[in-house]
Amino acid sequence: MSALNSLNHHFSIAGQLTFTATDDGQQIAEINNAHAKASIALQGAHVMTFQPHGEAPVLWMSENTHPAPGKAIRGGIPVCWPWFGDHPDKAFPQHGFARVQLWRVIGSEALADGSTRVVFELQKNEAARAQWPYSCHLRCTVTVGKTLTVELATENLGEEAFTIGEALHTYLAVSDIEHIRVSGVEEAPYWDKVRDLRSVQNGAITFSGEFDRLFMNTSNDCVIDDAQFKRRIRIKKSGSSSTIVWNPWAEKSEKMGDMGKDGYRTMVCVESGNAMDNIVTLAPGETHKMHAIYSVEPL
């Protein structure tokens, strides 16, 4: 039995969940239930799309990116783990290896409210073990319904403590970056990567150029007000003390090569995570869970 046939045999749900493959063999979980449709790449347990029925897409995906072995996907919800940002060893990939590793499906479920749940676990290869020698288990649970919920659970299976940084590096679809505002991190301390300084946020966030701030010690909901789309995207989180807000703007976007023409104008990253001052240490036998719920409200 082929890998794709095996996935569908064990985990498909009639009328809700099927597994497909791209031309180069990348496996995708396709969900279409009573509430919404979504797609999740098994590489990275990467939620690529989420669209409640009757709504515009909630997640942004670059028109210039496609799942490919070992290559990060631009858009959707990349899983950054077990570190966020650059590693001290520059030979290691930015944001860790979880987003480019193949994950295994270990469960699926049709919930009573019409939602669909899929559970993934990270498969570590020798390259990943060389970067992260600790004994642990990483699980990602995705629930697609009226809202989208993504949970990361890290369990320390070893006999020594370790420390992780992590983030759900979420790209949200917006009408125009210069006509939205992001609230929820007012008065939070932050590190501004663009200007390399620390300060405290004053008021809601608006955008007129490159923006890259890591907000610390904040567990508040974040809200994107989008007047042109007449909607509000809410990100409610738990187990997360950091929020990262990012838009590369025109010059950096052009250099990146996979953002698409003027792609930066129709996206903003509002990321739930634990980074810098908020990295998490797990004792032997301990499990840390972080999850985010994405919902759409009329504005």
**Catalytic residue among 35, 46, 95, 169, which?**
169
Calculated CA dihedral for residues 55, 59, 60, 63, nearest 10 degrees: -80
Q: Which residues are annotated as a binding site for substrate?
A: 74, 94, 99
Which range marks the domain in which residue 85 is found?
3-298
Residue 64 sits in a domain of what CATH number?
2.70.98.10
Q: Strand pairing partners for 61?
A: 75
Is the pTM above the cut of 0.75? yes
Q: Alpha-carbon torsion 157, 169, 234, 121, what sign?
A: negative
Question: Domain count of the chain?
Answer: 1
| pLDDT tens for each residue of the chain, 299 residues long | 689 999 999 999 999 999 999 988 899 999 999 999 999 999 999 999 999 999 999 999 998 887 778 889 999 999 999 999 999 887 888 999 999 999 999 999 999 999 999 999 999 889 899 999 999 999 999 999 999 999 999 999 999 999 999 999 999 999 999 999 999 999 999 999 999 999 999 999 999 999 999 999 999 999 999 999 999 999 999 999 999 999 999 999 999 989 988 999 999 999 999 999 999 999 999 999 999 999 999 99
DSSP string, 244-289: EEEE-HHHHHHHHSSS-TTGGGGEEEEEEEE-GGG-EEE-TT-EEE
User: Which residues contact residue 2 at a Cβ distance below 8 angstroms, ignoring those fewer than 6 apart?
Assistant: none
Q: Is 210 a residue of the active site? A: no
Q: Is 271 a residue of the active site? A: yes
